[in-house]
Structure 1
Amino acid sequence: MSTALIKEMNVQVSTWSVMYTKLHNYHWYVKGHQFFTLHTKFEELYDEATAHMDEIAERILTLGGDPVATMKEHLEQSVVEEAAGNEKSDKMVSTIVSDFDKIMASLKKGMTEAAKEDDDMTEDLLNAIYQSIEKHQWMLNAFLGEENN
């Protein structure tokens, strides 16, 4: 198995770890008239982030690689940044939409590496995650009242 594929998959493990923490932050600190809607949505998203992180890490192990597993590594390798801690609710949502753009670009890199390796299983796993994020992004943009590009 190529180190390039494992590297891209570890970027995803790190990214989902950071997203998990960011989404928890948003879940705990969201305020305002959309509290009930966003509080529930952020919980759904961090539960999903946990599943993605675990599935990708287990796939890395299956392929004989080593998933990154420290916060230091996660913060260094993630394509998204942790929450600032003072975001208002609409900013939380728009940040997630922007983060999903970055994650989808990273997933495409992973799918490209998996295709080079003829690793259909990894490519399928990353593609399924991509499709899920794409749908969440559409819904979050609708929440913000924005058109998809």
Structure 2
Amino acid sequence: MEKLSNIGLQKEDSKQVADKLNELLANYHLYYQNLRGFHWNIKGVYFFQLHEKYEELYNTALTRIDAIAERILTVGQQPLHTFSEYLRVSGIQEASNLSDGKETVSVTHQNLSTLLELEREILRLAAETGDEGTVSLISEDINENEKTLWMLRAFLS
């Protein structure tokens, strides 16, 4: 049996990276859906700022979801694609019936922290296996997520 994938990586290494990417994909879907709910339901003095910010964040998340799923396919694996799988795999929980600005920002901060922790795991694993494509994808995402976390912390302080 061939040990190298179509892109020249060890198949077993690619499977391990893809499993972690699928975990990230599931978490991103819950993060995305939480942001949609916050965007729709936000109330109070921060309405205008947060309504717009949540739309920006969920549009960014949607782009990242697509990139993660395509990377999973690129390394020769199948991306998760049902909500039951996302709910089973994700460490991020559904946020329901939240409309307060500080509360929704706090949940967003927690969700983004979960994504960042997982991205750092994937970065280490991808680097160890020589998967430069995944390293590049995740490195860029980490940079943006760190900046967003900083902004959310500033809002909450």
TM-score range, shorter chain: over 0.9
Aligned CA-pair RMSD:
1.0
Give SS of 1:126's match: helix
1:101-112 equivalences in 2 (<5 Å):
101-112=113-124
Give SS of 1:143's match: helix
Q: Is the 8 A contact 2:42 2:51 kept in 1?
A: yes
Match of 2:18 in 1: 6
The letter of the residue matching 2:119 is L
Gaps of 5+ in 2: 1-10
Distance 1:128 1:139 in 2: 17
TM-score (normalizing by structure 1): 0.93
Match of 1:30 in 2: 42
Match of 1:139 in 2: 151
Distance 1:144 1:108 in 2: 24
Q: Is the 8 A contact 1:79 1:103 kept in 2?
A: no
Q: Count residues with an aligned counterpart.
A: 145
From 72, 75, 90, the equivalent of 1:78 is 90
TM-score (normalizing by structure 2): 0.89
Q: Post-superposition shift, 1:118? A: 0.2
Larger Rg: 2
Q: Is the 8 A contact 2:38 2:104 kept in 1?
A: yes
**85-94 or 22-31, larger mean C-alpha shift:** 85-94
> Sequence identity, in percent?
33
Give SS of 2:76's match: coil
Match of 2:4 in 1: none
